[in-house]
């Protein structure tokens, strides 16, 4: 499920009305509540301690959800290893993140990621990647129990939507937050996404077509997609426009390896 589908759920779902008997049950519960238990106090968490506590809490939640709703692993025919690079004003660069991912029904699926030289941030990122889908799964399960008709309408809207392509174009906040972009798919499949083809390049033995899109008012993104890999983005560049009208590179994504699984 992508961000748009999650927004559809939040915009259309409403909580059921509160029964009149709820107030009486709450009052009775407070009157008969058990005595409060006290536990040894813990020192306040700050900085990395706070983040570590968040990771542990998210990991515990993920364990509960995964045991309640186990998901069988789907066969993956191929995966792509990519690196994400950040560029400074002087042209110097630094690798921010490595990821392994694949394509499924026009969507890029993240398998794993790591931040070079920062195992702590890598652990946080991987916990977030695993927890967010679990939260969506739990939300859909609860929604199906409360309003089964809403889940059916969401599935129908998803099936009637025009084909598109989504991919990870970059990252923010030290690469803890991933930037996902989605575009309409072309009918001929040559450029994969709608837009003027500005170049062609063979990347890792796969022919690609580059399409440029406006990302912000003063920014543009160029995407090299491979039709032979289900329109997977093997290269992405993000540029910002200077005051003189020229563009300079601020970040990029580059595929390093395509691994075909037996």
Asked if residue 249 belongs to a domain, the reply is yes
Tell me what pLDDT residue 102 has: 94
Write out the residue range of the structural domain in which residue 54 sits: 49-260
Average pLDDT, the chain: 75
Residue 219: burial class (beta carbons within 10 Å; 0-12, 13-18, 19+): middle
**Residue 77 · residue 64 · CB < 8 Å:** no
Q: Please indicate, yes or no, if residue 13 is contained in any of the structural domains.
A: no
pTM given for the model: 0.65
Is 137 within 8 Å of 111 (Cβ atoms)? no
DSSP letter string, 181-215 = EEEEBPSS-SSSBSS-EEEEEEETTEEEEEEEEEE
Tokens encoding 205: 């033995």
By DSSP bridging, strand 247-260 and strand 232-241 are antiparallel
The DSSP symbol for 32 reads T
Q: Give the pLDDT band (50/70/90) at residue 235.
A: very high
Between residues 83 and 135, which one has the greater pLDDT? 83
The token pair that represents 118 in the structure block: 């920062």
Residue 224: closest CA among 240, 236, 238, 206: 236
In the chain, how many domains are there?
1
Q: What is the model's pLDDT at position 90? A: 86
Percentages of the chain per state (helix, strand, coil), in multiples of 5 = 30, 40, 30
Is residue 11 one of the residues assigned to a domain? no
Tens of pLDDT along 15-46? 555 556 555 654 555 444 434 433 333 344 44
Q: What is the pLDDT of residues 49-90, one digit of tens each?
A: 545 454 445 444 444 444 444 444 567 899 999 999 999 988
Of 16 and 255, more confident? 255
pLDDT at 203: 97
- pLDDT tens, 143-200? 666 666 665 665 665 565 556 888 999 888 888 889 988 888 887 656 688 888 899 9
E strands, 105-184, are 107-114, 164-172, 177-184
Residue 6 lies inside a defined structural domain of this protein: no
Q: Is residue 167 helix, strand or coil?
A: strand
């Amino acid at each position: 499920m992508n961000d748009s589908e999650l927004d559809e759920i939040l915009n259309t779902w409403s909580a059921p009305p509160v029964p009149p008997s709820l107030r009486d049950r709450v009052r009775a519960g407070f009157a008969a509540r058990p005595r409060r238990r006290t536990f040894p106090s813990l020192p306040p968490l700050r900085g990395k301690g706070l983040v570590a506590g968040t990771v542990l809490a998210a990991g515990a939640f993920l364990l509960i959800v995964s045991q309640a709703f186990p998901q069988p692993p789907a066969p993956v025919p191929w995966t792509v290893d990519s690196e994400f690079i950040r560029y400074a004003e002087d042209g110097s660069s630094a690798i921010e993140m490595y990821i392994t991912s694949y394509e499924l029904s026009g969507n890029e699926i993240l398998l794993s990621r790591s931040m070079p030289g920062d195992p702590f941030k890598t652990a946080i990122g991987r916990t977030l990647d695993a927890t967010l889908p679990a939260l969506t799964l739990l939300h859909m399960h609860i929604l199906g129990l409360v309003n089964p008709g809403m889940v059916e309408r969401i599935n129908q809207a998803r099936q009637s939507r025009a084909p598109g392509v989504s991919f990870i174009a970059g990252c923010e906040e030290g690469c803890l937050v991933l930037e996902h972009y989605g575009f309409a798919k072309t009918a001929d499949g040559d450029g994969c996404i709608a837009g003027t083809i500005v170049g062609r390049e063979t990347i890792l033995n796969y022919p690609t077509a580059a399409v440029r899109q406006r990302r912000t008012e003063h920014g543009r993104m160029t995407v090299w997609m491979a039709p032979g890999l289900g329109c997977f983005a093997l290269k992405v560049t993000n540029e910002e426009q200077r005051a003189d009208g020229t563009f300079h590179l601020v970040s990029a994504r580059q595929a390093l390896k395509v691994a075909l699984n037996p």
